Amino acid sequence: MPDAPYVIDQLISAKSIAARVESLAREIAAEFAGTDKLIVVGLLRGSFVFIADLVRELDLPVEVDFLEASSYEDAMESSREVRILKDLRGKIEGRDVLVVEDIVDTGHTLHHVTRYLATRKPARLRTIALLDKPSRREVDFRADWIGFSIPDAFVVGYGIDYAQRNRNLPYIGQVRFPGAPEA
Ligand code: IMP
Ligand code: MG
């Protein structure tokens, strides 16, 4: 499937993303006003472009850290399991933390990651996702901030990949297979 030729239709322009990131950064700065430091945690790898743009718009003292989680379908179970592949470098106990994700899809990843980080007793733990696909949710999870709510489509660009490709597109596009029957 990843080798089948596909086309990418633009869904959200680079300009729209930039405008939205600016306004999200204002809301986050207001929420965390007065913090001594905000630890911004990017979930690898899909959030790397978003976090880079977001922190540059954030008028707060920030520290950046990364976490890598992997979700996979367990053949024997219907529920998804999420593993931590790379943990944070720094401590978050008593700190203000913002977790940055590319997409909330089934919700398993952020649901698991926030519960995992909460055991370290941060002062405040908030989440932001650039994209949300509410129709795909399997567990009850809501990010504190969402950039754009989108329908159930497979998207790429702005850090988000399809089989590791297309992360460098400056906009968000929808993957389409010409000739394939409409879903
Ligand atoms: P979930 O919320 O645990 O189902 O997983 C969210 C993760 O699935 C995201 O961090 C993405 O890595 C991946 N994902 C979900 N939808 C897409 C998509 O449309 N394109 C690329 N990756 C996606
Ligand atoms: Mg991901």
Provide the residue type at 25 as one letter. Answer: A
User: For residue 18, which of 45, 50, 46 has the smallest C-alpha distance?
Assistant: 50
C-alpha 169/C-alpha 175 separation (Å) is 12
Give the pLDDT of residue 135.
97
What does the alpha-carbon distance between residue 76 and residue 61 come to, in Å, rounded to a whole number? 45
Average pLDDT over residues 111-117: 97
Q: Is the pLDDT of residue 75 over 70?
A: no
Q: Of the bound ligands, which one is closest to the alpha carbon of residue 104?
A: 1
pLDDT score of 182:
67
CA of 104 to the centre of ligand 2 (A): 9
Helix pair angle (14-31, 48-57), 10° resolution = 60
SS3 content of the chain, % helix, strand, coil (to 5): 25, 35, 40
Tokens 């029957």 sit at which residue? 181
Which of 49, 103, 106 has the most ligand 1 atoms within 8 A of CB, as the residue to mutate? 103
- Whole-Å CA distances, 138 to 66, 106, 142: 25, 5, 12
- Within 13 A of 76's CA, how many CA atoms are on the CB side? 0
Residue 77 has pLDDT above 70, yes or no: no
Query: In terms of Cα–Cα distance, which of 48, 50, 58, 71 is closest to 136?
Result: 71
Q: What confidence score (pLDDT) does residue 180 get? A: 77
Percentage above 70 pLDDT, the chain: 93
pLDDT of residue 80: 74
Among 23-27, 73-77, 136-140, the range scoring the smallest mean pLDDT is: 73-77
- Residue 111 has what pLDDT? 97
pTM over 0.85: yes
Q: What per-residue confidence (pLDDT) applies to 181?
A: 75
Which residue minimizes the CA distance to atom 8 of ligand 1?
105
The atom of ligand 1 lying closest to the CA of 107 is 2
Mutation test of ligand 1: which of 6, 80, 100, 102 has the most ligand atoms closer than 8 Å to its C-beta? 102
Whether 59 sits among the annotated catalytic residues: the reply is: no
